[in-house]
Amino acid sequence: METAAIKVREATAEDTLTLWAACFDAANWRGSDRFTREQVMNDPEFSHYVEGWPRPGDFGVVAVTGNGDGIGAAWCRTFAADDAGYGFVATDIPELTIGVVPGLRGAGTGTALMTGLIALGRSRGLRGISLSVEDGNRARDLYERLGFVRVGRNGGSDTLLLQL
């Protein structure tokens, strides 16, 4: 999938740094740095989304520019109930993480990433994909437009689920 000079392709082990950068961008979705890169990489609440990528069952997509620079990523990972992430629904429903470079948000990159990731999830025969979205995050509109619905609430965040 391509839009303008952006290409979306399946993520590989070589994309781990792009996933880390996207995880940082996702944690700091408000545009200000609430968390440093070191905090994101060293805090198990964040790091378990990327650490050891890819492990069995992981899948994702990355957005790259024409010269190959990673500008965003969306990926899914399943978790055990005792290591649940923010958007945990069930052990057989992977949690989605998405992050786009702040200066490129609102230009279609997130939509392209989500469309590609959802297609991968369907091709794998998954029954759903979940995610967590904090109150005030504009990406909620994208998630709802793609069919995600609220299935839970945790503090200032909703857990959303897309039935595949």
pLDDT digits (tens, 9 = 90+) for 10-50: 999 999 989 888 888 788 777 666 777 677 777 777 777 88
How many whole angstroms separate alpha carbon 137 and alpha carbon 86?
A: 15
**Range with the lowest mean pLDDT among 36-45, 77-86, 144-153?**
36-45
- This prediction has a pTM of 0.87
Q: Where are the domains of the chain?
A: 2-125
Note every long-range contact of 26-33, with CB atoms under 8 Å and residues 24 or more positions apart, other chains counting.
26/97, 26/98, 26/99, 27/99, 28/102, 29/99, 29/134, 29/137, 29/139, 30/136, 31/102
pLDDT digits (tens, 9 = 90+) for 43-78: 777 777 889 999 999 999 999 888 878 779 999 999
Domain 2-125 CATH assignment equals 3.40.630.30: yes
> What per-residue confidence (pLDDT) applies to 2?
44
pLDDT-above-90 percentage for the chain: 52
Q: How many CB atoms lie within 10 A of CB 16?
A: 16
Mean pLDDT of 69-92: 90
- Mean pLDDT for the chain overall: 87
pLDDT-above-70 percentage for the chain: 92
How many whole angstroms separate alpha carbon 113 and alpha carbon 116?
A: 5
Q: Which of 102, 36, 98 is nearest to 61 (CA)?
A: 98
**Range with the lowest mean pLDDT among 25-39, 99-113, 145-159?**
25-39
> What per-residue confidence (pLDDT) applies to 31?
66
How many whole angstroms separate alpha carbon 72 and alpha carbon 75?
A: 10
